[in-house]
Amino acid sequence: MTPFTRPPGYTRIKVVDSFHELITTPFGSSFNAFCWKRKLPGNFSEVVEHLGASDGITTVEDSRLLALPMSAAGRVAIEALLIDQRLLRDHGLAPVLDCIHCYPRDEDPGPVATDVYSFHADSATVEADTYLCTYHGAPSEGLHNDEAQRRVDIPETRAELLKLFGGDDNDDFREYLKENCYSLHYAPVPQAQPFCFGLGNLWRIAIDYPGSSVPPCIHRAPETVPGQPPRLLLIC
Ligand SMILES: [Fe+2]
């Protein structure tokens, strides 16, 4: 498993030392991702094993976690999961803990796939951030902003989208790209070196919203491979 190491020379990520610093540091004009780097104690594999098989995403409630028959190391992991959720809830957020075997895929992606396996920016209509932490399984992946190109800006892709839209490249077309989330998806440039969010680190990343002062943090879910351990992911 690749741990997170700050990509050399890339200045948009700041590593922080506490939850307080994670939630209070402003993105400002440079940073668009904060990483509270941690080595969490506990056996998260045991938690995932007890959650059992599924062919999609299972949201895990606190009550279910507390009812799992665990060894001491498994209980330590559960305590860590509950503490993170408590911290975020106390901050007015609504974290969700998911055990992920597989995400839904874009069935008929057309020129631009819009599922979470594609590099994308999260978005909202008002100021907001995304928090996420992978505790187990393959961690999320990030892409430097200067190694990313919006798929809708690639001439061949834009031409295909225009054909689908059936009109001119005008405000209505740009609205169509937005409504269908096409404008939120990015292609890595040929020499791009995506980075790994690592396990146990709690991230706060910038998203796309009107008036944001920084470009959004581009990220994706790793490929899910049948037979590989599921991911345990906190998100809000
Ligand atoms: Fe996302």
Question: Separation of 222 CA from ligand 1 center, angstroms?
Answer: 11
Residue 1, pLDDT score: 58
| pLDDT tens, position by position, 68-112 | 999 999 999 999 999 999 999 999 999 999 999 988 888 887 899
Taking the CB of residue 166, how many other CB atoms lie within 10 A of it?
8
Q: Identify the H or E element spanning 163.
A: helix 155-165
Residue 6, pLDDT score: 78
Around ion ligand 1, residues with a beta carbon closer than 5 Å are: 122
Taking the CB of residue 110, how many other CB atoms lie within 10 A of it?
13
Positions in the chain whose pLDDT score sits under 50: none
Question: Separation of 116 CA from ligand 1 center, angstroms?
Answer: 6
Closest CA to 143 of 97, 82, 205: 205
Question: Separation of 131 CA from ligand 1 center, angstroms?
Answer: 10
Residue 5, pLDDT score: 81
CA 19, CA 137: separation in Å to the nearest integer? Answer: 23
Residue 136, pLDDT score: 97
What pTM, to 2 d.p., does this model score?
0.94
